[in-house]
Amino acid sequence: MRNTFYILSALFMILSSCGDDKGYFISGTVDGLEDGKKVYVSELDGKTRTPVVIDTGVVKDGKFEIDLKERDLPVLSFLRFEGINGNMIFISENEEVEFNIHKDSIRTSRVTGGKENKALFEYLDHLNALNKKIGNLQREMRSKMSQGEPEELQELREAQMELQENDKNFKVELFNRNKDTYLAVMLLSDMLNSKNQSSAEVREMYAEISDRIKKTDLAKDLERSLETMKAAEVGSKAPGFSGPTPDGKEISLEDNLGKVTVVDFWAAWCKPCRIENPNLVRTYNKYKDQGLNIISVSLDRPGQKDRWVEAIEADKLEQWDHVSNLQFWQEPIAQKYGVKAIPATFILDENGVIVAKNLRGEALAEKIGELLK
């Protein structure tokens, strides 16, 4: 009788553990891919931020199955097939994730799984639809511009702004429904990079993400970025820095503060920066005698000092100070200021406090004139 009890107990434990173990299992069908072709599963590496292959499978009778080790946390993942161009994006989760792959149209392939992938593909479907609408609008705008129809062109611009506002609202609403998913961090990163939301707004939303998701590498990266940006927000003391000038001298922000100082991030390869430079020159010439100073920080590439110097001369920027470590997007000064896109400008008062940022053209000149009064 006792032996029977132990056998039943052991069987119960085995069945219970199997029932609790949801596992991480992927499977699917592949149209038009011959047997024996390999299937590669990759995950985004936490350190290098590049996909790393973690397992492989083989296509047989148009199908594949791969049983993977359970994950503590979700991560952005990719499925790639030998003989098919492109990757299928998905999020790893301890659920069965199923793929329906079309060999000749990887983008129209579908993924089904748990809440992680349901949320991800709701977002991807939104982005695909949005990009089509924006593409159509831009084609219409080019047509109206060439035809000289300003009223119709203005209507299209307003329609484009409405699309952008709807996109912003959709992302916020989707975030509010998915605070315990990996997508929540992806959404906030997109909002921050596209400037749909201020860094302060994104920081408030980040606080609402579940503690589980905050443990992911992507969330930790976002948190670090938000902390960096906090140091360079309006009202904060501008991060101090020093850097090498084109002639090899070292100058610092602290020693070159004017009554108003513009810290301007740009690069010789940046077309919008070069377009904005004449406005910066006009503003400097107008207010330099009243106490305006500019320090330009270049994000030019390593080994391209000549291009940097040539651009300074060509755009007549030699009137003020220039610094650069020639490290492209790894420029340490840009990282201190959380710069993710250029041109970027930070306007400082005489105490080095940031009073405005990312103003251009007349808006920049007006703000400087107002501060100098």
**pLDDT above 50: residue 324:** yes
What share of the chain has pLDDT > 70, as a percent? Answer: 94
The mean pLDDT value for 18-46 works out to: 82
Position 7 scores a pLDDT of 37
Residue recorded with tokens 């940006």: 229
Distance, CA of 75 to CA of 54 (rounded, Å): 12
pLDDT: which is higher, 54 or 145: 54
Q: Which residues contact 114 (CB under 8 A, 6 or more apart)?
A: 93, 94, 95, 97
DSSP one-letter code for 369? H
Q: Which residues contact 193 (CB under 8 A, 6 or more apart)?
A: 340, 341
Domain architecture of the chain: domains with CATH = 22-112 (2.60.40.180), 117-230 (no CATH), 242-372 (3.40.30.10)
Distance, CA of 264 to CA of 250 (rounded, Å): 17
Position 154 scores a pLDDT of 86
Position 143 scores a pLDDT of 83
Report the sign of the C-alpha dihedral through residues 154, 158, 164, 168, in that order.
positive
DSSP secondary structure letters along 27-42: EEEEET--TT-EEEEE
Position 18 scores a pLDDT of 38
Question: Measured in whole angstroms, how far is the alpha carbon of residue 242 from the centre of its chain?
Answer: 27
**pLDDT above 50: residue 56:** yes
The mean pLDDT value for 24-37 works out to: 91
Distance, CA of 373 to CA of 302 (rounded, Å): 41
Question: Measured in whole angstroms, how far is the alpha carbon of residue 175 from the centre of its chain?
Answer: 16
**pLDDT above 60: residue 2:** no
Position 17 scores a pLDDT of 39
Pick the closest to residue 340 from 186, 192, 184 (CA basis): 192
Residue recorded with tokens 């995950």: 43
> Tell me: the pLDDT tens digits for 188-207?
999 988 877 888 899 999 99
Position 83 scores a pLDDT of 86
**pLDDT above 60: residue 5:** no
**pLDDT above 80: residue 158:** yes
**pLDDT above 80: residue 10:** no
State the pLDDT confidence band at 299, using cuts at 50, 70 and 90.
very high
State the pLDDT confidence band at 14, using cuts at 50, 70 and 90.
very low
Q: Is 358 left (phi over 0), alpha (psi -120 to 50) or beta?
A: left
DSSP one-letter code for 74? -
> Tell me: the pLDDT tens digits for 221-249?
999 989 888 888 899 999 999 999 999 99
Distance, CA of 126 to CA of 186 (rounded, Å): 14
Position 23 scores a pLDDT of 65
pLDDT: which is higher, 123 or 194: 123
Question: Which of 97-101, 311-315, 322-326 has the least mean pLDDT?
Answer: 97-101
Position 1 scores a pLDDT of 43
pLDDT: which is higher, 200 or 356: 356
**pLDDT above 50: residue 9:** no
> Tell me: the pLDDT tens digits for 164-196?
999 999 999 999 999 999 999 999 999 988 877
Single-letter code of the amino acid located at 7 = I
**pLDDT above 50: residue 32:** yes
Return the SS3 of 2.
Answer: helix
